[in-house]
């Protein structure tokens, strides 16, 4: 009798083990590549599968944020998010690693040395001006690889002190007068970008935009490079080596800087040996009070006998309607563009978020809106995959503020919905 019961138990155990193996073969395990991708990127809700080519939501969205303003995926393949409480560091499955508290955190980017730059605010007293006033000034914090553990601040770039065009104490103090309408505390740092050699671009906007003077206008882009020690080694500090004065701070054009709201270079993760040395960049002009026909601009950096010059990419004005229906350089295409990113892969896509239309737009590098039709498609034009509209649904936004791209996944800082939304082109699902 005991032997019969033992045989029954062994048989049941064997059947259960076989069933587990079969299930593993059908559904995958937590250790296989299919499940790893699901945990890392998210799952596609079958109720949201698109019949046409388009971006499908990867669920669940990440909703542990307080009005997120920006998102980027670094060369270390961690995800960095800024919101009202500071900088959050997550893995690509959305698991929070740590938070660094920062007031007014607005933008975030990582260089190829894994240093993180965050635009935020900095409280300080300037004794020489008035020891009773606490100034809340725009700043860029440089952290040494915060994804590894301890928080090490390598440098803090503060306006107006770290603007080389205001190198004298007098020119700096003129912007620290509570009776002036163009106080330095009204300047905002609205965009960050890095180049292949870890040069840092800092986009800013503000009330003082007088041209033809030694001091750079507020509406401009500052260029920062590393400070070297006596042996030529980087110290971790940064210094302002120039301002891009070719950008008109007042008059909208194909090379203007009227209320810059974000910035993107053509250098981005993942890390690789051959990285473009192009110093060109993309900007968005989000000032809602101005009539700006072309709110997204591609500024080309070209080396000439006279040195490096920044020029408009006027060829984007040519619009081949036989190949696309909408274009990047289309007058009044945007209302209040709030974020921009470039996919540094062979696709060369440009992503734009617009807080005025609560939408995400995709363009090719030739300025055509949409993606190349997939194999087997009867379409002869670029397939428009832009989407959005005010709401909290999986393909809706509420004041999107920042956008990033990494390994075929698009990340959107959906500020009004307190979440990071993620999407993948449905033709990329295997």
Higher pLDDT, 145 or 39: 145
DSSP code for 342: E
Confidence of residue 379 (pLDDT cuts 50, 70, 90): confident
- Joined together, the tokens standing for residue 254 give 């194909």
Kindly tell me if the per-residue pLDDT of 139 is higher than 80.
yes
- Joined together, the tokens standing for residue 55 give 């971006």
Predicted confidence (pLDDT) per residue in 54-70, tens digit: 999 999 999 999 999 99
DSSP code for 28: -
Confidence of residue 43 (pLDDT cuts 50, 70, 90): low
| Of 199, 76, 83, the residue nearest 145 (C-alpha) | 76
Tell me the H-state helices in 72-132. none
**Domain map of the chain by residue range?**
1-30, 43-428
Q: Are 81 and 87 in contact (CB under 8 A)?
A: yes
State residue 154's pLDDT score. Answer: 97
Mean pLDDT of the 296-308 span: 95
**Mean pLDDT (the chain, rounded):** 89
State residue 429's pLDDT score. Answer: 74
What's the distance, CA 290 to chain centroid? 24
Mean pLDDT of the 31-58 span: 64
H/E element, 35: helix 33-41
Q: Judge: domain 43-428, CATH 2.120.10.30.
A: yes
Share of the chain above pLDDT 70, in %: 88
How many whole angstroms separate alpha carbon 315 and alpha carbon 402?
27
Kindly tell me if the per-residue pLDDT of 53 is higher than 90.
no
Q: What are phi and psi of 87, to 5 degrees?
A: -110, 130
Q: Are 360 and 424 in contact (CB under 8 A)?
A: no
pTM score? 0.89
Kindly tell me if the per-residue pLDDT of 292 is higher than 80.
yes
How many whole angstroms separate alpha carbon 82 and alpha carbon 361?
22
State residue 25's pLDDT score. Answer: 35
Confidence of residue 148 (pLDDT cuts 50, 70, 90): confident
State residue 4's pLDDT score. Answer: 43
Judging by beta carbons within 10 Å of its beta carbon (0-12, 13-18, 19+), is residue 313 exposed, middle or buried? middle
Q: What are phi and psi of 181, to 5 degrees?
A: -80, -15
Kindly tell me if the per-residue pLDDT of 1 is higher than 50.
no
Share of the chain above pLDDT 90, in %: 80
């Amino acid at each position: 009798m005991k032997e019969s019961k033992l045989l029954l138990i062994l048989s049941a155990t064997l059947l259960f083990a076989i069933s587990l193996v079969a299930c593993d073969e059908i559904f995958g395990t937590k250790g296989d590549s299919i499940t790893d991708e699901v945990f890392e990127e998210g799952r596609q809700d079958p109720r949201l599968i698109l019949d046409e080519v388009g971006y499908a939501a990867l669920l669940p969205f990440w909703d542990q944020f307080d009005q997120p303003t920006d998102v980027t995926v670094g060369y270390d393949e961690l995800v960095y998010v800024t919101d009202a409480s500071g900088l959050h560091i997550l893995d690509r499955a959305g698991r929070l690693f740590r938070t660094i508290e920062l007031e007014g955190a607005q933008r975030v980017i990582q260089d190829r040395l894994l240093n993180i730059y965050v635009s935020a605010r900095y409280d300080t007293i300037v004794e020489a001006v008035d020891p009773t006033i606490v100034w809340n000034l725009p700043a860029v914090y440089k952290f040494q690889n915060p994804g590894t553990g301890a928080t090490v601040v390598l440098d803090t770039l503060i306006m107006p002190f770290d603007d080389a065009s205001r190198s004298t104490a007098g020119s700096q103090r003129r912007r620290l007068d509570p009776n002036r309408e163009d106080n330095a505390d009204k300047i905002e740092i609205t965009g960050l970008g890095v180049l292949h050699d870890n040069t840092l671009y800092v986009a800013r906007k503000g009330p003082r935009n007088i041209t033809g003077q030694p001091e750079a206008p507020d509406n401009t882009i500052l260029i920062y490079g590393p400070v070297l020690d006596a042996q030529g080694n980087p110290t971790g500090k940064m210094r302002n080596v120039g301002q891009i004065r070719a950008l008109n701070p007042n008059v909208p054009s194909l090379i203007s800087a009227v209320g810059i709201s974000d910035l993107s270079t053509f250098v981005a993760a993942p890390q690789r040996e051959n990285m473009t040395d192009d110093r060109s960049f993309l900007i968005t002009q989000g000032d809602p009070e101005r009539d700006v026909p072309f709110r997204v601009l591609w500024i080309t950096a070209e080396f000439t006998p006279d040195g490096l010059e920044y020029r408009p990419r006027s060829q984007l004005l040519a619009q081949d309607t036989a190949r696309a229906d909408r274009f990047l350089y289309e007058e009044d295409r945007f209302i209040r563009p709030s974020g921009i990113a470039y996919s540094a892969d062979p696709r060369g896509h440009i992503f734009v978020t617009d807080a005025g239309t609560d939408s995400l737009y995709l363009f090719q590098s030739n300025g055509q809106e949409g993606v190349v039709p997939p194999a087997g498609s009867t379409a002869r034009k670029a397939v428009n995959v832009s989407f959005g509209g005010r709401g909290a649904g999986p393909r809706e936004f509420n004041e999107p503020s920042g956008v990033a791209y990494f390994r075929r996944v698009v990340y959107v800082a959906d500020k009004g919905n307190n979440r990071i939304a993620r999407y993948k082109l449905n033709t990329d699902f295997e």
